[in-house]
Structure 1
Amino acid sequence: MRSRKQAEGAKVPAAGRRAPEFSGPKAKKTSRNGVYAFSFTVFAVVFCLVIALFSSMLSVLVVLGAAVVATLATLSVRVAPQWERVVVLRLGKFSRVAGPGPYFVIPIIEHVAARVDQRIITTAFVAEEALTADLVPLDIDAVLFWMVWNPKDACVEVEDYSSAIWWAAQTALRDAVGRINLAEVATRRAQIDHEVKEILDEKTRTWGITVVSVEIRDIAIPPDLQDAMSKEAQAERERNARLLLAEIEKDISEMFVEAAEVYEGSDKALQLRTMSLIYESVKDKGGLVIAPSAFGEAFNNIEKFLK
């Protein structure tokens, strides 16, 4: 988690503005130079053929006519990249989905309504001040991975499917966060991701869009609440440490009581313990050791004791 000040750079675009599809490293767009080169080639070939056919009567009108015929040919014969599908309308009604590869369009009667990219698209979005179930405002940064599987529905059923799924994702994230408490947000990220994905799938199914995954990148909480949570966590750790220490002391005291009962019921055990203490005190230092007379009594009648 990070503070609200650190999240100021990830603001939600104003209403009516389209959100950026990716706010991370600059994306490398796939080149469409091949499509443009194909159109230019068609124009050049048709233009040259017309000029060659009417070379004997070459004039300004012939050149203009050749340009018009070449333009119509360019508008009629087109090509779509492998990842692209083209929605074609005929007299305002849906006709077909063309591509990939070359396709034909009847000028004036037909026109291209949309070019739909069917690759997985990455969209970053932010839910600002989303309220949890215990009314704590959070700034949540997330990434949405989605793709268009039905170009017809994406073109016909929604005006701007890219912006629509961005706003739907933001709303779904707010709904999912509003069902849980603050303490559960950090520990239930995977569940929130799954819930947002299910909500979006239900909304976008009729748009011809499928949501691949939703991943929360960051959660920003208010700074004052961060301090309170930090103090609460420290107090909880100190409490656990004190409880553990008390349990250890209790176990040690119980073992001491059991040892005292054993020594009380057996003089031999007490004498062995006394001799062990004397040995431990002199094994490293050596030499003469001055000890209370009670320690010396442990060695009285040692032969009888060993028997």
Structure 2
Amino acid sequence: MIISSSRNTLRQLATRQARLFTTGAGPKPIPQFFQGASSTPTNTILNFVPQQQQWVIERMGKYNRTVKEGPHFIIPIFEKIRSIHSVKESVLEIQPHNCITIDQKDLVIDGVAFIKVLDTFKATYNIDDVDFAINELCQTRMRTEVGNLKFDDVVKNRNELNEKIKDFINSASLENWGVECIRYEIKDISKI
């Protein structure tokens, strides 16, 4: 009897929370990759973490734990949801930027980085804005690599450039920020 009533209570809470999400009256779902700047769900004691998300919880301003999908008790007033991270592979658009080849050709290059959070603690506390940092790393490394090549080599060796940039991003972000670059792809190379 007690078990069935507690199941019904959990079902009612889950239904109520789902209704709040769909009507817009309750907390908003957080769809983006890094959520440090976005609003976090309202702390309602019993919280349901969606699949493929991890929440970083602070107790009285200090890191307490990381919770994965499923129901979790989070004590209002004492504990707060510091950040929410999707642990799915995510696409990060790299802004177009100017590069100059060794034979003095001006190029505009843009790309895409496919990244994944492996350690939510590091992604929350070791850096303010991971998206911006990875974007800057990609742009500066691309300028360096393109600056050592002729224009024809840049076009021919696109795959090698992709691998070098991916390895460079991983050397900086994997250990320090808990984020792995799975793939990097140059989208467009155009002369100015």
Scaled by the length of structure 1, the TM-score of the pair is 0.48
Query: Partner of 2:33 in structure 1?
Result: none
CA contact (8 A) 2:99 2:109 kept: yes
Give the alignment of 1:115-194 within 5 angstroms: 115-194=84-163
1:75 aligns with 2:44: yes
How many residue pairs align between the two structures? Answer: 158
Query: Partner of 1:217 in structure 2?
Result: 187
Tell me which of the two structures has the higher relative contact order, counting C-alpha pairs closer than 8 angstroms and 6 or more residues apart.
2
Q: Which aligned runs of 4 or more in structure 1 are off by greater than 3 angstroms?
A: 33-36
The sequence identity of aligned pairs, in percent, is 27
Amino acid at match of 2:18: A
CA contact (8 A) 2:43 2:74 kept: no
CA contact (8 A) 1:196 1:214 kept: yes
Which blocks of at least 5 consecutive residues in structure 2 are unaligned?
Answer: 1-13, 22-41
Query: Partner of 2:80 in structure 1?
Result: 111
RMSD: 2.2
Greater radius of gyration (CA)? 1
Change (3 A) 1:178 1:88: same
1:100 aligns with 2:69: yes
Amino acid at match of 1:210: E
Which blocks of at least 5 consecutive residues in structure 1 are unaligned?
Answer: 1-32, 41-72, 223-307
CA contact (8 A) 2:109 2:186 kept: yes
CA contact (8 A) 2:97 2:139 kept: no
CA contact (8 A) 2:43 2:80 kept: no
Distance 2:129 2:89 in 1: 17
Shift in Å, 1:38: 6.9
1:37 aligns with 2:18: yes
Shift in Å, 1:131: 1.4
Give the alignment of 1:77-92 within 5 angstroms: 77-92=46-61
Distance 1:36 1:163 in 2: 33
Scaled by the length of structure 2, the TM-score of the pair is 0.75
Distance 1:155 1:108 in 2: 21
Query: Partner of 1:16 in structure 2?
Result: none
Describe the SS at the equivalent of 1:186: helix
Query: Partner of 2:4 in structure 1?
Result: none
Structure number with higher strand proportion: 2
